[in-house]
Amino acid sequence: MPHAQPIAALAPMAGYTDLPFRRACRRYGLYYGTTALVDAGALVHGNPDCVPILHRGEEEEWLQVQLLGSIPTDIRTSTRILRDGPWHFDALDFNMGCPVRKVIKRLAGAALMTQPARALECLKEIRDNWPGVLTVKMRILKEDDPEPTIRLAQRLEAVGVQGIAIHGRLARMLYSGPVHTQIIRAVRENVHVPVTANGGIFTLEDVSRLAEATGCERVMVARGAIGVPWIFRDIATGTVLPVSREELLETMTFHVEEMVREYGEKSAMILSRKVISSYLSGRGFPHELRAQVVKIASWQDFMDLRARLTGCSTAQVADFHG
């Protein structure tokens, strides 16, 4: 009997997991989508940058919002805004894993793991004001000892958290180094809520390895989905299907077109440069064409580049896997 494939979720990634990105992934079977993180203070003070982060597509069946912050009063007010707003999110995830320096300096993100009293106070504010599912995304606290991470996870569970996603690296390691799967496994074995394993997923093989090592039935894909939305198809089917140049360019075009729809042509073209680069990088396209991405300033510029990419000989660009 074949082993069931893990349930795959898209991780919240600042600057990436907006509605166009999720729509590209949903074409390949993504169900459990997440917004990029939204800052509690910015939301409370009406920062317009929050608007596109919170935009939910009418066709999105399930969407989780991720909240970042460390000031309980801001957490309370922002939770109520998310609760009473027009988005109708299916779950709220509290960020206790972001390792970025400017976040750590504010005692938010991963810094909250070393400030459990403050973290629990923030979570209590959410639990008291959010009627839906509440989850947390965190990291491990020690590489060689699971106990500190287990104790924190148990305290999160006790305050009402209903799911925990664990990135198996220390905050100071950012996104490099080994993923300490034994710590994730130990947490899963010592809490009663679902645990999602996160870290180091770029291929279907990575998914299988992480799921087996941690015993988790749920995995979270982050950077491995950037420029590779079809990874969710691979995970769902348990098969790595070849992606032709035509499929790659069509998916990339869909993604950029959605960005134009979301942000308007001028802003979208600037924002799309990193997106386009992610689709083209490492796929055999000539350097001189990839170098043109930084000059894209209009939809016509993009379509001109698309035409040149389409015209590359098959000797230069072969079908690839993943």
Domain of residue 48, CATH code: 3.20.20.70
Give the model's pLDDT for residue 320: 54
The reply to whether 1 falls in a domain is no
Strands across the sheet containing 33-39? 7-10, 218-221, 195-198, 163-167, 133-139, 91-96, 63-68, 33-39
Instruction: Give the 3-state secondary structure of 110-173.
Output: HHHHHCHHHHHHHHHHHHHHCCCEEEEEEECCCCCCCHHHHHHHHHHHHCCCCEEEEECCCHHH
pLDDT tens sequence across 145-186:
999 999 999 999 999 999 999 999 998 898 889 999 999 999
The reply to whether 98 falls in a domain is yes
Q: Would the pLDDT of 4 be above 80?
A: no
Q: Would the pLDDT of 299 be above 60?
A: yes
Token digits of residue 135? 């989850």
Q: Domain check: are 126 and 272 in the same one?
A: no
Of 239, 257, 275, at which residue does a domain stop?
239
Token digits of residue 178? 């080994």
| Residue in 221, 278, 275 with CA at minimum distance from that of residue 10 | 221
Of 239, 259, 293, at which residue does a domain stop?
239
pTM comes to 0.92
The reply to whether 204 falls in a domain is yes
Q: Domain check: are 66 and 147 in the same one?
A: yes
pLDDT tens sequence across 76-105:
999 999 999 999 999 999 999 999 999 999
Give the model's pLDDT for residue 313: 59
Q: Would the pLDDT of 1 be above 50?
A: no
Give the model's pLDDT for residue 5: 83
Give the model's pLDDT for residue 62: 97
Does 317 or 280 have the greater pLDDT score? 280
Phi, psi of 196 (to 5 degrees): -105, 130
Give the model's pLDDT for residue 172: 87
Q: CA-CA distances (angstroms) from residue 56 to 30, 62, 87, 106, 137?
A: 15, 10, 6, 28, 21
Q: Would the pLDDT of 223 be above 60?
A: yes
pLDDT over 70 percentage in the chain = 96
Q: Domain check: are 235 and 265 in the same one?
A: no
pLDDT tens sequence across 17-69:
999 999 999 999 999 999 999 999 999 999 999 999 999 999 999 999 999 99
CATH number, domain with residue 315: 1.10.1200.80
Question: For the residues 119-126, what does the mean pLDDT come to?
Answer: 98
Q: Domain check: are 281 and 164 in the same one?
A: no
pLDDT tens sequence across 271-296:
999 999 999 999 989 999 999 999 99
Contacts (Cβ under 8 Å, ≥6 apart) of 321: 240, 241, 242, 243
| Residue in 182, 126, 104, 173 with CA at minimum distance from that of residue 149 | 182
The reply to whether 2 falls in a domain is no
3-state secondary structure of 267: helix
3-state secondary structure of 51: helix
Q: Would the pLDDT of 314 be above 80?
A: no
Neighbours of 213 (CB within 10 A): 16
Give the model's pLDDT for residue 252: 97
| Residue type present at position 175 | Y
> What domain range includes position 54?
7-239
Q: Domain check: are 18 and 158 in the same one?
A: yes
What is d(CA 218, CA 198) in angstroms, rounded to the nearest whole number?
9
The reply to whether 299 falls in a domain is yes
One DSSP character per residue, 167-200 reads ESS-GGGTT-S---HHHHHHHHTT-SS-EEEES-
